[in-house]
Amino acid sequence: MAPITLDDLAQALTECAGSDEEVPLRTEAIDTPFADLGYDSLALLETAALMQQRYGVTLTDDEVGEIGTPREFLDLVNTATARAA
């Protein structure tokens, strides 16, 4: 399976929680904390559930709770995908 990209994550976040037009999820925001991007822990949990549906990647609530930035989310999801393969 191809790695999940920042665009994939941005689409999932938008579907689950909407988006803040003032702080788009772009490459320059990859290390910006989710809280600064307008996403709370519930948005991340819903996004993780959507990732599970789409890509078969299972993340625990504790794992999701420790994610701080889009880069961390992608690293965790892509590592879990590689383990599952």
Q: Going residue by residue through the chain (85 aa), what tens digit of pLDDT does each one get?
A: 789 999 999 889 988 887 655 445 778 889 999 999 889 999 999 999 999 999 888 899 999 999 999 999 999 999 988 877 6
pLDDT value, residue 23: 47
Q: Residues, the chain, total?
A: 85
This prediction's pTM: 0.86
Predicted confidence at residue 24, as pLDDT, reads: 59
| Residues 76, 81: Cα–Cα separation, whole Å | 9
Fold (topology level) of 6-18+30-84: 1.10.1200
The residues near 62 (Cβ < 8 Å, ≥ 6 apart) are: none
